[in-house]
Amino acid sequence: MSDKVLVVEDDADIAELIRINLEELGVEVTHCNDGQQGLDSALSNDYALLILDVMLPNVNGLDICRRVRDANPEQAIIMLTAKNSETDRVLGLELGADDYMTKPFSVRELQARVRSQLRKVHVIQKASSESDTNEDDALVIGKLTIDQKTHQAFLDEKELDLTATEFELLLHLANHPNQVFSRAQLLEAVWGYHHSGYEHTVNSHVNRLRAKIEQDAAAPKIVQTVWGVGYKFNLQGV
């Protein structure tokens, strides 16, 4: 069964370009050119991935992202933003988008981003379909437990409300305690691509993750910044 992707884009030419290139990947594409229609479709159907333009009639892409993320924390979301709209990119990531692309974009780059997000979706689907448990699937560090099979994380025995990408970011860092990763290395490891100019994706996700796992996100003890280099998981902070 092919993956279902919802594209909410009011520019007919861009929407058609996306549809043609995603169908090359064997993806089933549904297109909405109106924000309200897109929001209703996203909330009432089971899509593997949403691709949302920011500027849309009736309901903008940022509001769709926020509403969908509240309803389904693990929904995969890619935002499309104008090349010069840094504010929209930041807001989209802060609202929970997994990734973003700026217009105009390379169709090969789009395909790569979509494949990366769908791989995560397949991992989650596989984990949820396997009912047997194995202690090796859980990573336990101090008060933090990360269950790779159920895609759940717990701190002080309380479940963390993480998006799929936040979970993968936490898991990668925790699997390599005290090792420093550059933003480019994290992009490649967690998002599955290496492309300069998208490091802000990492920054925003680290900030969102800190807000959920740190006692004081302004003075993080678990996911720490190594100035001039990147980030590390501090083994003594948990």
Q: What is the domain-level CATH number for residue 43?
A: 3.40.50.2300
Q: How far apart are the C-alpha atoms of 95 and 117, rounded to whole Å?
A: 17
Helices vs. strands in the chain: H and E counts, helices first: 8, 12
Residues 43 and 158 in one domain: no
- Inter-axis angle of helices 61-71 and 86-94, to 10 degrees? 10
Q: Each residue of 173-225: pLDDT tens digit?
A: 999 999 999 999 999 899 887 666 677 889 999 999 999 999 999 999 999 99
For the chain, the first-to-last Cα distance in angstroms comes to: 41
Residues 55 and 154 in one domain: no
Lowest-pLDDT range, 1-15, 98-112, 120-134? 120-134
Q: How far apart are the C-alpha atoms of 223 and 238, rounded to whole Å?
A: 10
Q: How far apart are the C-alpha atoms of 109 and 78, rounded to whole Å?
A: 12
Q: What is the domain extent for residue 117?
A: 4-127
Q: What is the pLDDT of residue 39?
A: 97
Residues 225 and 140 in one domain: yes
In angstroms, the Cα distances linking 151 to 46, 54, 77, 128, 207 are: 18, 29, 17, 8, 20
Residues 99 and 163 in one domain: no
Residues 117 and 136 in one domain: no
Q: How far apart are the C-alpha atoms of 22 and 75, rounded to whole Å?
A: 18
Residues 157 and 201 in one domain: yes
pLDDT higher than 60, residue 131: no
Query: What SS3 class is residue 223?
Result: strand
In percent, the amount of the chain with pLDDT more than 90 equals: 66
Burial string for 224-234 (b: 16+ CB within 10 Å, else e) reads beeeeebbbbe
Q: What is the pLDDT of residue 138?
A: 86
Residues 18 and 110 in one domain: yes
Q: What is the pLDDT of residue 120?
A: 86
Q: What is the pLDDT of residue 222?
A: 96
Q: Which of 79, 110, 127 is the last residue of a domain?
A: 127
State the CATH number of the domain containing residue 168. 1.10.10.10
The number of domains in the chain is 2
Q: What is the pLDDT of residue 20?
A: 95
Q: What is the pLDDT of residue 66?
A: 94
Confirm if 75 and 46 have CB atoms less than 8 A apart. Answer: no
For residues 76-91, average pLDDT: 85
Q: What is the pLDDT of residue 199?
A: 76
Residues 11 and 42 in one domain: yes
Q: Which of 100, 127, 154 is the last residue of a domain?
A: 127
Q: Which of 72, 102, 127 is the last residue of a domain?
A: 127
Say if strands 138-141 and 144-147 run parallel, antiparallel, or are unpaired.
antiparallel
Cis peptide before 177 (omega within 30 of 0): no
